[in-house]
Structure 1
């Protein structure tokens, strides 16, 4: 079977070529934004080709240069793109072995490869990939007939390797923000206070005076940009513009819309799934409500975009999640044919989802199209990143369960109010520009095949990962939300696991059982049981003390997206006026591990981010949109607050790899929630667990 993205890009030379000077050129359509993808995919290629990692040269993602693999999303790079890289390289290896056997007069099975050199009876034959390359035509479609290496034959996969992307970052050579092109000008963009707001008045004289230098003011309907050879001048012009502008139809948002429960008051569509509503019974019933606020990406560096329009060709540099999807958006906005647009990826601050990177690139492109020749650099401010990037949607979750006489969970209902978790469509600039009658509308999301279940980011892990006889979900999808929402690490999965695993702890208490024993009693899958038992052993669960002492130990588990990796976490806390993290543990079965050090980094980073969500983070609404626009308004977990983290990777030689980047957040959130409840002797059900909520819980 040929993996999906290899089917879509079947020519082998799109993936693998052999260059002079002893390098293999490896191309794939996934981008690096901090998750170690480039290193892991390079390891997979080197493994199948029997090359050292030092002889692999990864092509930077750019339209035309790499296969079109869509977006880098869902922690699917190793699982999906890795399968295509693996299959393509295995087939290339087989073609070269066949050609070597023909030239050497031996059987293909007699040939081994080491560091790119072809051996027979462990002796060099004088042939290698580069001597054979002129005789092997890779401009042919993959057949899917070559066999991949089995894990027992791996020499490189499964071994920790230094990240290939780090040296350039350390020396200031990797980031889009640091690119300087000859003749480059700097620009800032004035944003509308809401998608329907229209520019009524702009005091250009006051802006020019305040800018302190030569500045060009570009106006196209409600799109306004300030352009200067000096970045400081463009920045001052934007600040002055915000004080000297008047808008029509600016929105006004009530601060009450900050609260997750406010979603119930907004227009929504209903999507029921699973069993019919339960009939009346004598079984014990328990209900609880949980909430998650809007959450920001909190990218450490604000977004940036760079574009040049020259000789009818548009070139755009972006740190977004996919070069081909951005090219399609730019073609729609500009009216140019896609072949006239080149999109080049350059790294930026990680986002794990849809932040402002696409918008900054579109800003730069819109300006460049109207000012051909000079490269245009658009740098967002911190206030722009917080105020205008898409955010992760708020969620309001109502859970209900029925227990049999033994206390076992036998009926489970999750009712969820949520905004969209995937929101790519029109950019901020499109909302400000005049309507283009020739522009195609944003493409509708693909319809699921007949009979296929409906995908919703809000329903990921909506049902806990246990053996529950009867389950149902009811999703109330709120569209539109008060502010723009889109994908943020894990979509709705981590929040559903937070709610579901908190609820399972409540059910264990009702049943009079230890939370660990209660979970194991409902868990048949041996891989799931293994991670739960492992993390309990790592954290010495048997020492768990009485509730309400101010010290807490909490446990949670899920199978990621109900079909991928297995993960369990334990968190220890101390709670006085605030929650202090003492230590976190995690056991994960993500199948075949490519780079163990990279995998641990992803899991640990996910746990720290999840802890920050639980304890700190909340986007507040008010005025014309988002009211939290600085780090003072939007605190995140500090380095001094990060506890020791211990991680165990198990079952690492399983033939199939699972994605890791979104694996650990949900169980960490659930475990932290349960640890706080254990420490307090009472439960907080709405995020974040601030000092005020801790005090309210203690007084309740």
Structure 2
């Protein structure tokens, strides 16, 4: 990957006149048919939240000298294909060829501040902001052109960077219309957008252009980024969360390891800068072996984890209460079940990496953080710097969904770069550090109770959830980044972060007249934060497993039982679709098919999942044969990207369901590598079939987190149908199946 110089917004605008891209205008030569203006319609709905801080067109897109478009988005590419989706909506609204729209993602001072990339919100926030900004830009270009050409707007055609009069055949390029300025018009309702029936790109399966570079092994990720004269660094991690440095003996370091540039000791933060990466690895090992630390606070016994969670949890908070659950439960037959989920890791295939360079005035940082503006605030607090003097450029990482160690690696690099100015300093984490210091998805307990009425419908439901924080993402609170906790004047987190994610989807989307949901929050022994789908994974695993239990008690087919409790036709449609997808499947002895349904957050996308498994009754091994999903995200922007997200999410969820858990004893976390923290192997990945229900008249919703929660329940239900063993505690291992 070639290092690209940083551009401020001011320099970005200044340089517009020097950018040239070769192109051919549609209709510019006699052999090309002149385009017809597509029908348009007024959008009067709610503007996206991202537009709250970026209301003008030029915050979202710039028109270059040649009429091509550069779109600006504050979201980062995580493998979800957001760059391509944004390119599609911008090209659509401005009637451009796709290749004439480039998308610039996540760079402070250049792109809008859109907070974090997460919560399956990039499509409805960033892509829709670009849509409305592009539509507003189109209208403004037509208005300005009508004045310059002395004609009415209805006489004009706009396509591929030009505006042309149908009568006089005179035309102007976008650059001639704007005369060196950008469009600062505020986006206000109503927005005149293209009629979905006229789409050229939106809703189509447009492939991501970056995939070919990945397949060819080109430098794509931050781990590949190199700068001239760049130095390498490692950080000496404490033996535990609460350990503090007592002493460090550097004697002999330079004798044992060549290329030492500098050792940095700031309280209990210890880093070493070297000429080459392997020298940094050896230096870190030497310093770790020659350092003395305080003994960390012990962990609870792993076998007592869930009892410990209940012991330390705060009194319950009622987050939903409808009807009178207690009154219905009195005298009724109550069905109960308890489900658990262990701590799980982001388990990024590439350990975290961060690069920084301080030129004496500006601190430049390159990071695969999922929130460069919030991270800038954390760094500014930690380093006592003005945030405007920190410039962060997002570079893709090896992939994860949620709050990984990317921000921590960037903070490490920033601290070390300040100690050695005018040189790029690269910090590459080790696999062991990645596994040990990752902000895990928290362990959870979900207890469910329900009763059925005389018609075998659920008439009362109660959920009790025990959960730690599901987001301690970086922000102005410097304690959210790891390095800040070990400085001479350490920063500790000012709050517990976002607790509400723990009871996400704990209230069934089904029609149940009496319902109570209580949340019990606990401050656990491990570092935790956002992991794909937050508490939905545990809660939907529990709920949809329990729905199968209740269906069996009611003597009904599990899918029909669900449909009987739904009034939303879109919800019913995805269930019926997955029912159709699996209708011709036969199962042999030891095989089973299981189902699950969810509407994510009870407000966003709909999904129904099916899984077919085979269980070896001798050794308890459960193998995935095939999985299906039927999905409704409203308007589909990119069919290919959406399908990929669903497939990938189901496979990741299958790995969590069957394999993954953080292991530990009272003194240390023991799952330090892939042998001790196994994930689903390529050979274990089943065929996955995804059916998308496109509803172009409905609001577009994201899908990144949607497939994860119901997949776990579908697999658990399939295992029960295959061998008659119901497993309540994740992961579903062979031992648990044999002992059930």
Paired residues of 1:193 and 1:251 also in contact (CA < 8 A): no
Per the alignment, residue 564 of structure 1 pairs with 604
Classify the secondary structure of the residue corresponding to 2:641.
helix
Match of 2:275 in 1: 229
**In structure 2, how many angstroms separate the alpha carbons of the residues matched to 1:682 and 1:231?**
50
Instruction: Answer yes or no: is 1:478 the counterpart of 2:526.
Output: no
Task: Go from structure 1 to structure 2 and tell me whether the alpha carbon gap of 1:13 and 1:445 turns closer, same or farther (over 3 Å shift).
Answer: farther
Determine which of 325, 338, 352 is the counterpart of 1:303: 352
Aligned length: 683
In 1, Cα distance between equivalents of 2:100 and 2:381: 40
In 1, Cα distance between equivalents of 2:260 and 2:502: 49
Who is 2:615 aligned against? 575
The aligned runs of 1:285-296 (5 Å cut-off) are 285-296=334-345
- Counterparts in 2 of 1:173-572, with a 5 A limit? 173-214=219-260, 216-256=262-302, 259-275=305-321, 278-279=326-327, 280-424=329-473, 425=477, 426=479, 427-435=481-489, 456-479=500-523, 481-540=524-583, 549-572=589-612
Structure 1: runs of 5+ lacking an equivalent: 447-453
Give, in angstroms, the shift of residue 306 of structure 1.
0.4
Q: Structure 1 residue 135: deviation in Å?
A: 7.4
5 Å matches for 1:638-649?
638-649=681-692
**In 2, distance between residues paired with 1:376 and 1:212?**
17
Question: Quick one: distance in 2 between partners of 1:478 and 1:541?
Answer: 46
Residue 267 of structure 1 and its aligned partner are, at CA, apart by 3.8
- Equivalence map 1:654-665=2 (5 Å): 654-665=697-708
Q: 1:629 to 1:79 in 2, by over 3 A?
A: same
Distance 1:258 1:228 in 2: 44
Query: Is 567-576 or 399-408 further displaced after alignment?
Result: 399-408
Match in the other structure for 1:601: 644
Please list the CA deviations of residues 153-199 of structure 1 after superposition, one character each: whole Å capped at 9, or x if unmatched.
21111111121333444453321111211221111001123343211
1:13-52 aligned at under 5 Å gives the runs 13-52=58-97
Distance 1:119 1:56 in 2: 20
Aligned-residue offset at 1:258? 7.4
| Mapped contact 2:463–2:507 kept (Cα < 8 A) | yes
Question: In 1, are the aligned partners of 2:532 and 2:705 still within 8 Å (CA)?
Answer: yes
Whole-Å separation in 1 of the counterparts to 2:391 and 2:259: 33
| Distance in 1, Cα, partners of 2:702 & 2:81 | 12
8 Å contact from structure 1 (residues 410, 469) kept in 2: yes
Deviations 1:312-342 (A, max 9, x none): 2111110010211111111001111111110
- Asked if structure 2 preserves the Cα contact closer than 8 Å seen for 1:412 and 1:468, the reply is yes
1:386-411 Cα offsets, whole Å, 9 max, x none, are 10110100101111001112221111
Match of 1:73 among 115, 118, 132: 118
- Could you give the per-residue CA deviations for residues 294-319 of structure 1, whole angstroms, max 9, x where no partner exists? 00011000000001111221111100
Looking at structure 2, the residues matched to 295 and 666 of structure 1 have their Cα atoms a distance apart, in angstroms, of 14
Tell me what 1:450 maps to: none
Shift of 1:284: 1.9
Aligned to 1:130: 175
CA contact (8 A) 2:56 2:185 kept: yes
| Cα drift, residue 78 of structure 1 | 0.5
Deviations 1:128-164 (A, max 9, x none): 3233221765134333343222311211111111213
Is the contact between residue 183 and residue 375 of structure 1 (CA under 8 Å) also seen in structure 2? yes
Deviations 1:471-501 (A, max 9, x none): 111111112x111000000001122111000
**What corresponds to 1:451 in structure 2?**
none
The answer to which of 321-330 and 18-27 deviates more is 18-27
Cα separation, 2, equivalents of 1:87 and 1:258: 53
Is 2:596–2:608's contact at 8 Å kept on the other side of the alignment? yes
Residue 150 of structure 1 contacts residue 655 of structure 1 at CA under 8 Å; is this kept in 2? no
Give the drift of 1:523: 1.2
TM-score (norm 2): 0.89
Q: Is 2:541–2:713's contact at 8 Å kept on the other side of the alignment?
A: yes
How far off is 1:207 after superposition? 4.3
Secondary structure at the residue paired with 2:592?
strand
Matching of residue 56 in structure 1 with residue 101 in structure 2: yes
Select between 193-202 and 181-190 the one with higher mean Cα deviation: 193-202
Cα separation, 2, equivalents of 1:474 and 1:115: 55
2: CA distance, partners of 1:5 / 1:326: 17
Query: SS at 2:679's partner residue?
Result: coil
Range with greater deviation from structure 2 (78-87 or 534-543): 534-543
What is the distance in 2 between the residues matched to 1:541 and 1:255?
Answer: 48
Contact 2:68 2:161 in 1 (8 A): no
- Label 1:348 to 1:562 Cα distance change in 2 as closer, same or farther (>3 A): same
Distance in 1 separating the partners of 2:434 and 2:191: 47
2: CA distance, partners of 1:377 / 1:530: 50
- Any idea what SS the aligned residue of 1:570 has? strand
CA–CA distance in 1 between the matches of 2:409 and 2:650?
Answer: 29
Instruction: Tell me which of 710, 716, 731 is aligned to 1:667.
Output: 710
**Distance verdict in 2 for CA 1:238–1:467, change over 3 Å:** same
